[in-house]
Amino acid sequence: MKLGPISFLDCIVFCVFLAPQLLVHVGLFETVGVVLQCLPFLLFQLPLGFINERFFVSRKKQSAFVQIASPFEDFVIRCVRYAFANLPPKVGRVFFSKPVALPFLRFRMLRHGFLKSPVHWHEYINRRFKGVWIIKDPMKKPDVCIYYAHGGGFSMGSSYFYLEFLLTWLGMLGDRGYQNPAIFALEYTLVPDGAFPTQLQEAIAGYNHVISTVGDASKICVSGDSAGATIMLSLLLHLANLAFDSGKMNGTGAWRLEKPGMAAFISPWVTLVSERHQNTASDYLDEGSLHLYAREYAGEQVETNDPLVSPGNCRDAKWWTKACPAGGMYFAYGAEEVFAPEIEGLVAFLKKNNIQVSSREEAGGIHAWPVASLFLSSSIEDRQKGLKSIVQHIGETLPIS
């Protein structure tokens, strides 16, 4: 299923779905307070900054992202940048939540002529984990499966907000030649409801479920963006060394599971806290907020530099060699994003130690742009550009029956 880009009508409808949920989950007074806090930005800072940089600043002095972005992309990212740095996480949590995202997707589907989803998907709930299955034909075994964890700084986000992105991904896998592609999106516990190793334990249990459903680990690609990619990198390291941090984990930590066929990550938050995280003029991430989220995710049991909670801190080549899937690891990221230096550092380390890894840096790109561009970009080519490269890599790595 491939829908058109987000329109201004979509934005209005999204706000209609969002407003009552903010009142319910954040409260009237705090919601009003947040709105009042945002007014100076919305009335002055946003329009003045937008007009100035787009129309009165020479191209050479514009940020790298503005140089390649459409006015709509630029406008939305400026709003996201402000929100990430200034709004409390519980507001963002409502923004990305199921009660907002799912009705919004249904509206977009209806606007494009779909009364119901043309692709089968259903929720799966287990006492150890929960998630969303998306599959072309639920009566048959998948011939390829993406095991995905969403981003959101560990404290916000949901599989339902990513559902349109994942449905598009599934369709592109079918176009590539897979007969029955599937995606299982892990709905992991958000901070502060749980801290590490809760999310890793859920990822282990979810992975075991995916293996049992697919029947062959070599047909699985573990994936995720941002914080979700962190969890999946931690999963790979854990599968290669069950003893590490085992005393902090429940029974799932002792499960011996086969490695997946490959891994593909979008803007992974490889190192939780790093001096190399610096705000950029293009990206919407904020270094201060990131490090706050990182410490909340690590919780009280581990330090933020623990290699299992922060995979970029693992500099044990033998451990990575054992953790790397047979089909290797693929990293897609933006040249302008806050995480770029740490991603580049990890990729360089892996390559130096002859560990199978490949990467794609998007010039002028920002954080998780393959996800964001699907909603914000206007042309089909631009909207699917990031996903297309990932699907191509999967098709070249995991056999098509």
Residue 112 lies in domain? 95-397
Mind listing the pLDDT tens digit for each residue in 68-85?
A: 999 999 999 999 999 999
What band does 378 get if pLDDT is binned at 50, 70 and 90? confident
pLDDT of residue 326: 95
Those residues with Cβ within 8 angstroms of residue 321's Cβ, 6 or more apart along the chain or in another chain:
353, 355
pLDDT of residue 401: 75
What residue type is 263 in one-letter code? A
| Position with higher pLDDT, 255 vs 356 | 356
In terms of residues, how long is the chain? 401
CATH of the domain at 240: 3.40.50.1820
State yes or no: pLDDT of 18 exceeds 80: yes
Q: Give the closest residue to 217 by CA, choosing from 161, 165, 176, 257.
A: 257
Count of Cβ atoms closer than 10 Å to residue 23 Cβ: 14
Residue 24 falls inside a structural domain: no
Residue 49 falls inside a structural domain: no
Mind listing the pLDDT tens digit for each residue in 173-223?
A: 999 999 999 999 999 999 999 999 999 999 999 999 999 999 999 999 999
pTM above 0.75, yes or no: yes
Report the chain's terminal Cα–Cα distance, integer Å. Answer: 22
Q: Are 253 and 201 in contact (CB under 8 A)?
A: yes
Q: What is the 3-state secondary structure (H, E, C) of the chain?
A: CCCCCCCHHHHHHHHHHHHHHHHHHCCHHHHHHHHHHHHHHHHHHHHHHHHHHHHHCCHHHCCHHHHHCCHHHHHHHHHHHHHHHHCCHHHHHHHCCHHHHHHHHHHHHHHCCCCCCCCEEEEEECCCCEEEEEECCCCCCCCEEEEEECCCCCCCCCCCCCHHHHHHHHHHHHHHCCCCEEEEEECCCCCCCCCCCHHHHHHHHHHHHHHHHHCCHHHEEEEEECHHHHHHHHHHHHHHCCCCCHHHCCHHHHCCCCCCCEEEEECCCCCCCCCCCCCCCCCCCCHHHHHHHHHHHHCCCCCCCCCCCCHHHCCCHHHHHHHCCCCCEEEEEECCCCCHHHHHHHHHHHHHCCCCEEEEEECCCCCCHHHHHHHHCCCHHHHHHHHHHHHHHHHHHCCCC
Residue 53 falls inside a structural domain: no
Residue 276 falls inside a structural domain: yes
Q: Give the closest residue to 365 by CA, choosing from 394, 330, 338.
A: 338
Domain count, the chain: 1
State yes or no: pLDDT of 334 exceeds 80: yes
Residue 56 token pair: 């009165």
Residue 268 falls inside a structural domain: yes
Residue 34 falls inside a structural domain: no
State yes or no: pLDDT of 47 exceeds 80: yes
Those residues with Cβ within 8 angstroms of residue 204's Cβ, 6 or more apart along the chain or in another chain:
235, 238, 252, 253, 255, 257
pLDDT of residue 28: 94
Residue 68 falls inside a structural domain: no
State yes or no: pLDDT of 246 exceeds 80: no
Residue 197 falls inside a structural domain: yes
